[in-house]
Structure 1
Amino acid sequence: MSGHNQFELLRQRRFLPFFVTQCFGAFNDNVYRQAIIGMLFWLGVSAEQKTLYATLAPAIFILPYFLFSALAGQFTERTEKSTLIRITTAMEIAIMSLAAVGFVTTSMTVLLVALFLTGVQSTLFGPVKYSILPAVLHPRELTGGNGLVEMGTSISILLGMILGGSIFAMTGAGGPWVAGATIIALAIAGNVASRAIPEAGAGAPGLKINWNPIPESIAVLRLARRQLAVRNAILGVSWFWFVGTVLTSQLPAYAEVYLGGSATLYILALALFSIGTGVGSMLCERLSARTVEIGLVPLGAFGMTAFLLDLALARTGVATTAGLDVAGFLQQPGAWRTVADLVGIGLFTGLFVVPLFALIQSRTPKSEMSRVFAALNIQNSGFIVLASLSALAVQRWLDWSIPQVILALAIANALVAIWIFTIVPEFLMRFLSWVLVRTLYRLRTRGIDHIPEEGAVLVVCNHVSYMDALILSASIPRPVRFVMYYRIFNIPVMRWIFRTGKAIPIAGAREKPALMEQAFDAIDAALAEGEIVGIFPEGKLTTSGEIAAFKSGVERILARAAAAGRPVPVVPMALRGMWASMWSHRDDRMGRMRTPRRFRAHVEVVAGGPVSGEGVTAEMLEAEVRALRGSEA
């Protein structure tokens, strides 16, 4: 899979039919909602009726997420996923048929009932949308797969809004029939695409359904809070919806009042944000080197803050022009700054949210994943409502302008990001590790797919430089508990990174025997919890570039696990190209203070197939690592 890229998924049956299905769903939802707005303008209803719809519609669509997400999570958990997707797309055909009746009869009551049912259908589809990806994708494909889904969703929403908003403008009296036929045709197309989705299994086929939504909603919310990193990843995704809701709700008036534009300029602003989100989502796989790299989350958060801040300061006064089309706006002073800000916000939003989805998927047990995503939907809907009410409150009661709202959003985004990274330092630690590794080296990996997706694993590797643990962390998709010499563990600045990464300090038996025993106990406990433990069996950095003899401590680790009735597989790994690093012992102390001999030097991490931990010796593992490293130090 070394030459794999995310676009190859679009040619594979395990992903493409699902991708097409979810794009049709997002596209159709927005065609429908925008077509209702277009019908209201076509009918010439009063401003009060338009305001009533604008207030009721989001609430009607969101309400099912509060009421039925917990039930949807349970159904998704116990039902084969492709079957459930076909059921939901069949529901969409029936719902859109009802909506078509509403269009033809111009009945807002029917249209709002259909909108509620659309919310129910989306509630049922939500958990399976993300829980199916870990079932059909390899862990190293999760970031790329999520990037494609987010890109497809963003573009589908944009195109759906454009088409839905233009149906009545283009067709006039035929609008009701065209709108009804369009949404039914799109629903049928989504159902046809769903029939090509291969079976993906059920997470917990024997799960007993709790039909009471209130206690079950509380139960799934508690389930989502078991792991600190997952809990705060969910919080981060919900915050993404908060930011997106506030920003997109301001864009129509912002485009008209502060950019001096017509309705088409609002579409441009929305398109820039959507395209930026799609590009950012697609960049995640390349920037993460196909791992679940949560170090991108702080980068995304800080980038969002910077561009939101610039957008707030770019135009603080009302525009002196009005009715500008896209070409006219782009000729105005400062127009391209606004364009860059909107694209930048979207781009860093993509970098922020895609790794969070991948983190939730990679660290949640498959038997609980659908319910965890149901909890995410409940929390998301709460944040969307909170965002709408907050924006309305500060504008109505505090008389804030739109730039002031955006400025407050930028400040709030920075504060929320800092808070999340404070309570879960792993995000910031991974960010610093990612910056260090990607700045100093060009990292290439081979054989990483040999590392099991779950369960206890012992990783053994040659020890060349002080950066070895960070490089392996950047290469292995799962979190790794590294065992390292306590003096390296205590290096200033790096110590915070190692401690946050739950590294295990160790010392020699003659040096600090108590610390050594504590280390072996911590290793055994970590393996018992199903974690990956990484060790450097040489016991110290190489002083010659060659691999030293592996010490017997690795045998003791494996023997303890086997004696407890839980033998652990061993994955041998080798670092290549690190001997030339400034962080190795190749030079004397003064020589190591220089810039790396080859800035952004090529470094390779090679992993071999798992070896049974029963009966393996240090000499056998040393031979495996030597073979993987070859002649290149």
Structure 2
Amino acid sequence: MSNTPRNTKASSSVKLKSWLPLFFTQALGVLNDNLLKGAICFIAVLWVPQEMRATVLAMASGLLVIPFLMISPWAGRLSVRYDKAKVVNYAKLAEIPIMMIAIGGFFLESLWLSGFALLLMGFQSAIYAPSKYGLIRDVGGYKGINYGTGMMELLTFVSVLLGMVLAGFVADMGDAQKYILGGIFLSLALLGWWASNCIKVKEVEAQPEFEGSIQPWKFAKRTWKTAGQTKGLKWTLIGLGIFWLIGSLLQLVLLLHLPEQFDLSATQTSLVISAVAVGIGLGCWTAGVLSKDRVELGMTPIGGLGMAICLTVLSFAELSLGGFIFFAIASAFFSGWFKVPLNAWLQDRVKGRELGTMLALQNMLLCIFVLLSAIIFKVATLVMSSEAIIGVIALIAWGVAIGTLINIPAMFVRTLVFLLSKIVYRVRVHGADRVPKTGGALVVANHVSYLDFMLLVAAVPRQLRFVMLQDMYDKKIFKWLLKRMNMIPINARKGGNNLEAFNALCQAEINAGHVVCIFSEGTVTRTGQMLEFKRGIEYIAAGIEAPIIPVHLGDVIGTPCSFT
């Protein structure tokens, strides 16, 4: 590894053409869903009396969500038992006749027929959602999880935005609107089916004998119990649910707050909300790009803190319209940083075909939290102002941010160091693939500067357990954090017994499947020349059955905190 300009490939480690069919399938499907929903909200709503229009708007949102609660267990079973690409392809094929029903509804000006088509699209989306997201890992491998997840989320929010904007545009087309709408519906469905046919990937072997329950309550109970077998997975699912709770609440309150406080029209309000949606998408994309082939769960508390700070400003500060929009988009951007690492971590930790059932459970929880947001919003509007509701959302964000910070401080600090290292250094890494994805290892590095740990964090794609001096470890102000970061203290001045205990501790950590990092020279070189290796490495190596990975820090002389 050297501190020189780098020339790395995309984080996915997979050619873009391998991703494109999945990306197009995602974008075109979400676009058609939201175009139909928007058309009902802008066009079909005018077919009913004024007093029924609020009900139609609520119905348009519910018809796309409720199917996820009803058939997610069955969708999860399909993704386990059958080829996921085929599940996606058949679901996209079904979109074509559904869109023909929708076209008939608009030509006949039948709200019931149009609503029925939207309900069918909800079922269609729910059926192939676990298979679609399960394909991310099949297309990009474990190294492509962050890139694939970030891009899928970006495309989702951009397509939601385009669908609603396009629906509003077509609504102003007068008598030609039904013909234009029909052509777009059918074209998107056909293109989406064609894109799904182009998904060619080697999948994990299916399990045709899998017999999970498809009753929603039994499925949720069994899968939730299974999630408990993977440390942290339940909290990951809850975190993703809270993301949707905050997002849905913010969208609802903006619809109320912007016209009241800034006297915006419906069109202006929709444009602001669209900009917020783009902010979420950009946050998701940048989180995936920055993480590259790592699962940087430490970005979640950073995103949570950024989201909480921005929402607090929105609630309590007196802002101009421009300032309000800026902080709303910023909070959305940080929410993307909060979400993508959780999605990537879930994909990374859930093995094999079990991923499909876990994604189905995630969809069920998503719907529950979205419905909960509607209830909270309805009750809140009866007793408080829109500014106060934003304050409540900020409190939820603070709770989540602080909770994640307390639970994963080591990952939080690692991510901060990782991002800081990208600013201080330009790092080129050779041989990072030599570090095993799982299992223990001993990383042995030379010691050139006091910031070498930053370079190692940037280079090694796993959580490192560093050896550090006992005197620093025992300082009360740092000890809690250092202990949670699993630092390994050493005090060679207290004699051989202490060193024996230290060696045993390092061996135990490695044999338990962790990666321990030790500086072979024991101190920073003052001359720029490599010093004599300490014999502790030999003692540690004698008691482990794990790879020993040498790391050379090159071209670091003359950088900050080095002696020469």
Q: Take 2:89 and 2:457, find their aligned partners in 1: how far apart are those partners?
A: 39
Q: Take 1:491 and 1:437, find their aligned partners in 2: how far apart are those partners?
A: 25
- What is the Cα-based RMSD across aligned positions, in Å? 3.1
Q: What is the aligned counterpart of 2:104 among 97, 101, 106?
A: 101
Q: Take 1:42 and 1:71, find their aligned partners in 2: how far apart are those partners?
A: 36
Aligned pairs for 1:155-304 (under 5 A) are 155-172=158-175, 174-202=176-204, 204-205=206-207, 208-213=210-215, 214-285=217-288, 287-288=290-291, 291-304=294-307
Partner in structure 1 of residue 403 of structure 2: 419
Q: Take 2:211 and 2:7, find their aligned partners in 1: how far apart are those partners?
A: 42
TM-score, scaled to structure 2 = 0.88
Q: What is the aligned counterpart of 1:371 among 335, 349, 357?
A: 357
TM-score, scaled to structure 1 = 0.79
Cα deviation for residue 64 of structure 1 reads: 2.2
Partner in structure 2 of residue 323 of structure 1: none
- Indicate the SS of the match to 2:429: strand
Partner in structure 1 of residue 145 of structure 2: 142
Q: Take 2:130 and 2:119, find their aligned partners in 1: how far apart are those partners?
A: 18
- Indicate the SS of the match to 1:445: coil
Cα deviation for residue 241 of structure 1 reads: 0.9
Are 1:295 and 1:434, in contact at CA under 8 Å, matched by a contact in 2? no
Are 1:459 and 1:534, in contact at CA under 8 Å, matched by a contact in 2? yes
Aligned partner of 1:35: which letter? A
Partner in structure 1 of residue 3 of structure 2: none
Q: Take 1:578 and 1:229, find their aligned partners in 2: how far apart are those partners?
A: 37
Cα deviation for residue 197 of structure 1 reads: 1.3
Aligned partner of 1:501: which letter? M
Are 2:303 and 2:334, in contact at CA under 8 Å, matched by a contact in 1? yes
Are 1:314 and 1:338, in contact at CA under 8 Å, matched by a contact in 2? no
Aligned partner of 2:549: which letter? V
Cα deviation for residue 273 of structure 1 reads: 0.7
- Indicate the SS of the match to 1:29: helix
Q: What is the aligned counterpart of 2:324 among 338, 349, 353?
A: 338
Q: Take 2:139 and 2:360, find their aligned partners in 1: how far apart are those partners?
A: 19
Cα deviation for residue 261 of structure 1 reads: 1.9
- Does 2:84 align with 1:81? yes
Q: What is the aligned counterpart of 1:451 among 435, 440, 451?
A: 435
Are 2:241 and 2:369, in contact at CA under 8 Å, matched by a contact in 1? yes
- Does 2:32 align with 1:13? no
Q: What is the aligned counterpart of 1:3 among 2, 8, 32?
A: 8
Partner in structure 2 of residue 630 of structure 1: none
Q: For structure 1, which runs of at least 5 residues remain unmatched after alignment?
A: 317-333, 563-567, 588-633
Q: Take 1:553 and 1:74, find their aligned partners in 2: how far apart are those partners?
A: 52
The size of the alignment, in residue pairs, is 556
Cα deviation for residue 269 of structure 1 reads: 0.4
Are 1:506 and 1:515, in contact at CA under 8 Å, matched by a contact in 2? no
Cα deviation for residue 386 of structure 1 reads: 1.0
Cα deviation for residue 546 of structure 1 reads: 3.2
In the superposition, relative to structure 1, how do residues 2 and 439 fare at CA in structure 2: closer, same or farther (>3 Å)? closer
Partner in structure 2 of residue 310 of structure 1: 313
- Indicate the SS of the match to 1:258: helix
Q: What is the aligned counterpart of 1:476 among 441, 460, 481?
A: 460
Q: What is the aligned counterpart of 2:508 among 517, 522, 527?
A: 522
Partner in structure 2 of residue 576 of structure 1: 554
Of the structure 1 ranges 52-61 and 262-271, higher mean CA displacement relative to structure 2 is found in: 52-61
Are 1:21 and 1:193, in contact at CA under 8 Å, matched by a contact in 2? yes
Are 2:279 and 2:333, in contact at CA under 8 Å, matched by a contact in 1? yes
- Indicate the SS of the match to 2:18: coil
Of the structure 1 ranges 293-302 and 224-233, higher mean CA displacement relative to structure 2 is found in: 224-233
Are 1:15 and 1:136, in contact at CA under 8 Å, matched by a contact in 2? yes
- Does 2:30 align with 1:46? no
In the superposition, relative to structure 1, how do residues 244 and 513 fare at CA in structure 2: closer, same or farther (>3 Å)? same
Q: Take 2:548 and 2:134, find their aligned partners in 1: how far apart are those partners?
A: 29
Aligned partner of 2:302: which letter? L
Aligned partner of 2:553: which letter? L
Partner in structure 1 of residue 375 of structure 2: 389
Partner in structure 2 of residue 330 of structure 1: none
- Indicate the SS of the match to 2:339: helix
Q: What is the aligned counterpart of 1:22 among 19, 26, 34?
A: 26
Q: Take 1:78 and 1:544, find their aligned partners in 2: how far apart are those partners?
A: 62
In the superposition, relative to structure 1, how do residues 222 and 553 fare at CA in structure 2: closer, same or farther (>3 Å)? farther
In the superposition, relative to structure 1, how do residues 539 and 67 fare at CA in structure 2: closer, same or farther (>3 Å)? farther
Are 1:73 and 1:374, in contact at CA under 8 Å, matched by a contact in 2? yes
Partner in structure 1 of residue 484 of structure 2: 500
In the superposition, relative to structure 1, how do residues 572 and 493 fare at CA in structure 2: closer, same or farther (>3 Å)? farther
- Indicate the SS of the match to 1:576: coil
Aligned partner of 1:22: which letter? Q
- Indicate the SS of the match to 1:387: helix
In the superposition, relative to structure 1, how do residues 33 and 289 fare at CA in structure 2: closer, same or farther (>3 Å)? closer
Residues 385-440 of structure 1 deviation map (CA, whole Å, 9 limit, x = unaligned):
111110111103x1x22222112212221122112322333443335434654564
Aligned partner of 1:210: which letter? G
Q: Take 1:276 and 1:48, find their aligned partners in 2: how far apart are those partners?
A: 34
- Indicate the SS of the match to 1:15: helix
In the superposition, relative to structure 1, how do residues 549 and 66 fare at CA in structure 2: closer, same or farther (>3 Å)? farther
Of the structure 1 ranges 438-447 and 18-27, higher mean CA displacement relative to structure 2 is found in: 438-447
Residues 447-505 of structure 1 deviation map (CA, whole Å, 9 limit, x = unaligned):
32343444444433223445434432333333334455545544665544442233344
